[in-house]
Chains A and B, each alone.
Chain A
Amino acid sequence: MGTDFLQYVISGITIGAIYAMVAIGYNIIYSVTEIINFAQGEFVMLGGLFAVFFAGTLHLPLYLAFICAVAVAGCIGLAMDRFIIGRARESSVLSLIIITIAVSILLKGSAMLGWGKDPYSLPAFSSGGPIMVAGAAIQPQALWIIGICALVVISLTLFFRKSVYGQAMLACANNPQAARLVGIPVRYMVFLSFILSAAIGAAAGVIITPVSMMEYERGALLGLKGFGAAALGGLGQFFGALVAGLILGLAESFCAGYLSSGYKDAVALVLLLMVLFLKPEGLFGNREAARLKKF
C-alpha cells in the first residue's frame, strides 16, 4: 500500500513537472502580449524531435543536442512572431489566438512530413537503472525533469522580478503605450517572449523524450494539459503554474491508481472547470489584475 502510494506520487510529480513547464511557456507570452499561444504544445514536440535529429542523425553529444534543439525551437518561435503574429499585430487578441492555432496545425503537419509518424526515443541523460526507494522505482530521468523544471521556474521568477529586461517585459503587458513612452522597445520584448517560451517548451520536450518518446502528434495533448495548469495556477503566474502543474499531475496519477485509469484525463479537465467556475483568476491569480485583462 505504502509502496504504491509512493509510486503514484513519483509518477504524478514527474508528469506534473512537464505540465508546469508547458504552462510556463503559455505564461511568458501571455504576460507580455496577452496572447494565449496555442502552438505551445508543438514547441514541446519540436524540441523532442529536433533533439532526436541532432543526437540520433548528426550524432552530437546529448548536451549539445539539447542546446541545439532548444536554440532551433527558439528560432522557430522568433519566426512565428516575426512573420506571422507580427504581421497581424493590429488585429484583436482573439484573432491572434486563432492564428496561433493555425500555426500549431502548420507545425504539426511539417513535423509529420519531416519525421514521419513513428515515435522516436533518446537515451536517458544519465545511465543506470531506476533508483529504488522503499520499493518504489524512480527513474533517474525523472530527477532530471524535476530538477530542470525547478531551475526554469526559479530563474524565470528572478528574471521577471529583478532584472531590467524582465521588468520591461512585464511593463509591456500592463500598458504597451506607456511602456513605449518610457523608452521600452515593445517589439523587441515581444520577440524575446516568443523565443523564451518556445525555448522552454522545447526544453520540456527534450527532457521527456527519453521517458515517454516523442512523435509528431504528441504536442496537442501536452499543450492542452499545460494550458490547464496555466489557467489553474492563474495566467501569468510562474509559481502558480508550477504548483498547478504538480496538482494536475498528482491528481491524474492518483485517479489512475485509486479510482479508474479511464477517468484520468477527465480529472484534469474537471479540476480546470471547477477552478474556472469558482475562482476564474486561478489559484494564485490576482482578482483585481484579472479584471483588467482581456482574457
Chain B
Amino acid sequence: MKSAKNLIGLTVLGLLITAAVLFWSKGEGIAAEKEPYKIGAVFSITGGASLLGEPEKKTAEMIRDEINKQGGIDGHPLELIIYDDETDPTKCNLAVKKLIKKDEVPVIIGPSTSGTSLAVVGVAEEAQVPLVSCAASYKIVTPVETHKWIFKVAGSDSHVVGKMFDYMKSKKVSKIGIMTVSDGFGASGREELVRLAPEYGITIVADERYGPQDTDLSAQLTKIRSAQPDAVVNWSTGPTQVLAVKNWRDLGMDKIPLYQSHGFGNLKNLELAGKAAEGVILPLARVNVGNLLPDDQPQKKVIMEYTKSYDERYKEPVSSFGGHAWDSMHIAIAALKAVGPDPAKIRDHIENTKDFVGQHGIFKMSPQDHNGLSKDDLEMVVVKDGKWALAK
C-alpha cells in the first residue's frame, strides 16, 4: 500500500516538473528570439558606501525592467549583471575582472565610489572594455590619454566649487572661512576650494578641519568667526554636516551665511537639522530638485519621469546616486542601441555622446572630456521652510 502511494506521489511530482520545464522553456523561447545584450555593473551595495550603491542598484534594475517591458534594445533583451563590491577596492577589482573575463560584458557601469573606481581603472583600460563610473573624483578620467576607456557621469568637485564661487561673487562675498572633514570627500573638496579661490578673487581667511565622527564643531566655528569672513563653507558628509548647521546656529552666526557642499543634498539632513537649517545655501544637481525646475528646463521631463517611477516602485525619494546610475545606464543603453555589443564601438559612441539629457545635466562628452558635465549643470539651492528652494 505504502509503495503504491509513493508511486502516485512520484508520478505527480514528475508531471509537475515536466510541466514546469515546458512552461519555462516556452517562456524563454519568447524572450530569446534575439541574443541578450549584456551590461555589467559593480556597485557598493553593502559596506561603508551602501548609501550610494543601494539606490544605484535599484535604479539600474528598474531601468532594465522598463527596457525589457518595452521589448528590449531593438528586440534584444537587456541582461544586467550586478556585483556588490562591499565598498572594498580589492573586491571591486575582482568583480570587474569577473565581468570582463567570465561574463564577457561589452560595457560596465559603476563602481560607486572614487576609491573603488580608481582601483579598477587599470583593469578596464587593459582589457579595453568601456567603464562608466558613478563616482566624482576627476582622477578617474584624467589624463584622458591613459584613460581612453574610462568615463564618469558624476560631476567633479571643481564644478561644485565653481558654481558656489560664482554665486558668492554675485553676493559680493570675498572672504570665506572653510571647514572640511578629514576624509577623502573633505580632503578633495578642500583641495578644490583652496585651488579655485584665487581664480574667483576669493580669499580663504580660515581653514579648519575635523574628524568624521566628531561630536562638536563649535571650536572650529568659533575660530572661523574670529577671522570675520563673509561666509562659511562646510564640506562633509554624514552627521558632521548636520552638526555644522546646529553649531553654526547655536553660536548665533546667522550674519555669516553657511554654505554646504552638495553632500548636504539629502532631505534626511533637513529633517535632522530642523529649523536650524533655514537659510543654508548649497549647489545641487537638478535630479534632487526636479519639481522646482521651470517647465521649459530641458531636464525637467526625464527627472520627473524618473522621480515618479522610482517612487512608485520603491516608495522612497530619488537621490543623487540613483541619478548617476540612471545616467550611466542610459548612456550604455544608447550606445548598445546604436552600435551593438562591441566594446570598441561602444567606447567611441560614448566618447561622442552630445547633448544627452540626463539626471545630472546635459552631457557633452569629447575626446578631451570623459565626463561631459560643467558647473552650469548645478543649481544653487537654499533651505526654506524645511524644503529646498532655488536660490536667487
Contact = CB atoms under 8 A, between A and B. Distances in A.
Do A and B originate from a single complex? yes
Interface stretch (B27-35, B117-125, B166-174, B214-222): B214-222
A248 to B, nearest CB: 13
B238 A256 contact: no
Contacts of A10: 218
Given A7-B222, A15-B216, A261-B210, A137 B272 contact: no
Contacts of A18: 215
Nearest to B246: A211
Contact of A11 (B208, B218, B246): B218
Interface in A208-226: 208, 211-213, 215, 217-218, 221-222
Contacts of B213: 217-218, 221
Contacts of B182: 262
Nearest to B271: A121
A3 B208 CA distance: 19
A213 B225 CA distance: 24
A117 B219 contact: no
Contact of B250 (A121, A130, A208, A261): A130
Nearest to A220: B213
Contacts, number: 87
A91 to B, nearest CB: 32
Interface of A: 1, 3-4, 7-8, 10-12, 14-15, 18, 117-121, 129-130, 132, 137, 139, 208, 211-213, 215, 217-218, 221-222, 252-253, 256-257, 260-262, 264-265
Contacts of B219: 7-8, 11-12, 252-253, 256-257, 261
Contact of B239 (A15, A212, A222, A253): A212
B50 A117 contact: yes
A255 to B, nearest CB: 9
A213 to B, nearest CB: 5
Given A4-B222, A119-B238, 17 more contacts: A4-B225, A12-B219, A15-B216, A18-B215, A117-B50, A121-B242, A130-B251, A208-B215, A212-B243, A215-B239, A217-B213, A218-B213, A253-B219, A257-B219, A257-B222, A261-B223, A264-B214
Given A117-B50, A130-B252, A264-B210, A213 B272 contact: yes
A154 B282 CA distance: 47
B211 interface: yes
Interface residues of B, number: 29
Contacts of A8: 219, 222
A262 B211 CA distance: 8
Nearest to B179: A261
Contact of B223 (A117, A119, A129, A257): A257
Interface in B248-267: 250-252
Contact of A15 (B215, B246, B251, B252): B215
What 9 pairs across the A-B complex have the smallest Cβ distances? A212-B215, A119-B239, A256-B219, A7-B222, A262-B209, A11-B218, A221-B213, A261-B208, A130-B250
Interface in B13-39: none
Nearest to A121: B272
Contacts of A137: 218, 250-252
Nearest to A139: B250
